Structure 1
Amino acid sequence: MIQSLHEDMFRISDKLPTEEEQRRVRHLILQNPGEDGAFTDDKLALTFSRCPHLETVVLSGAPETTDRTIVLLAQTATNLHGLNLSNCVEVTDVGLLELTNKSLPLQWLILNGVKGLTDPSISAVAKTCSRLIELELCDLPLLTPVSVRDIWSYSRKLRTLRLANCPLLSDKAFPSPPSLVLPEEPEVEDGEGPHPHQPTTWLEIIPPLILPHTTENLRVLDLSSCKITDGAVDGIVTHAPRIQTLILSGCSMLTDRALESIYRAVFQVARSCTELRCVDVALDFGA
């Protein structure tokens, strides 16, 4: 019996497809580095230029991947639903912006350890990838609150967001609690009196993030080792009322007040979600 094209597509793991397989492969999973030279950037670029039906691609085992290869993937695999570029340190904003320019139907995107990525490409992901339900941005040393605020504002379908070990993230990256009141600047009469506070960095002048909506779909949020305070936790549990897993290990600036906010949110969720069976709140405030 002759199989249809849809039935004949398949998954390949930890090897590159042959010429015969290139037109049929749908899922390419390269998690484990092959022998020396198995997954070079040149080989990947040639492969992606010949694989038009790819839907999911994992390249965590191909750290030599460059922007050129990601551009070819975006141009060829027009039905790409998922992409894992973890530890592909040669990839930059150039490759990621090409993904967003092609309006691909991405539902999950994993960019852990892609250390050259900056705010413009992450903001572009938030604003253009409207179908995203999973986004992982751990270990990105250049990520700032600017792009994370866009994620809260535009990525309304997200169920999982991971931001662990991003050293520049602060409370400014997250929704502000409703009770936040900005301090008034002291009045200065006749040129006398205390001078107003001068921000030490440009991040300090970013206003609080006030959202007109709640993030109803978010279930998992990982903020391990981020420099956030109790105020950020207040805002998060208020704007993500259905969150089930909140990971705050290594957030050493948190105090007992953050725990109180989480407990209040848990009780509120339990009252409103009659089918709720489990809420996993993982906390470790360090030494």
Structure 2
Amino acid sequence: MQTIQTQGLNVPRLGLGTFKLQGKDCHAAVLSALSMGYRHIDTAEMYANEDFVGDALEDTEVPRDQIHLTTKVWWQNLAPEAIRKAFDQSLAKLKTDYVDFYLIHWPAPDMNLASALEALMRIKDAGGARAIGVCNFPLALLKQAIEEIGAPIACNQVEYHVLLGQKTLLPYMQSKGVPLTAYAPLAQGRLAAMPELQQIADKHDATAAQIALAWLLEQDGVMAIPKARSEASQRSNLDALKIKLDQDDRALIAKLPKDQRFVKPAFSPEWDKE
């Protein structure tokens, strides 16, 4: 498995996203992924599945120190006391002594970013998290976190795929050595039947979804966490790491629209604010 280094950690480039996975399905999916070589599992307080992820971590034969585990604090819990309480609850459900990444899931409109990040740093300093980071931070907020507050940001997890460009955010993150973790890397399933991707896939004896993932995973400083319930989907995503795109493939993908954002909750930040 290829890795990316950030804040002293080597993080597998391809992880398993668990959003909307519940109960036995979640437990089985995590166990399956770990058995076939995944070592990066992503969950969150809001997913309401940390206990099932934790059960899988207990039941797998893979040692805990070989698994990169990410969880996140919800945007309504960003007061320092609320962060601490949320973190303790997450740790209990995950049945582990620490997480590898602890992230702010979404910025809150009225948050005190400095105090929120300081609370995360205290958790890190106490050994509860090996690194901290953020999700869904546009450029202006990320700059504030890194340059004004000086927080050791290990990643920024955002929606990123062949239909949504990150032409201002990604270069900045690359310049700071902060990886971008792409969620919804398959545009919530929309890319599986895209003709342009299928055209490339036919050339590589692959699937359209594998081409979309390969495009992300070849980029400097980019990780991806597709959700995959079945063993077949998990294996297919893993095999995307073997695909080598050429200049013609990239040129075809470059022509696709890059303004299609599909994750748009009411509390979203201003994405174009720099």
Task: Tell me whether the two structures share a fold, i.e. TM-score over 0.5.
Answer: no
Higher RCO structure (Cα 8 Å, ≥6 apart): 2
TM-score by length of 1: 0.28
- Structure with the larger helix share: 2
Q: Which has a greater percent of strand? A: 2
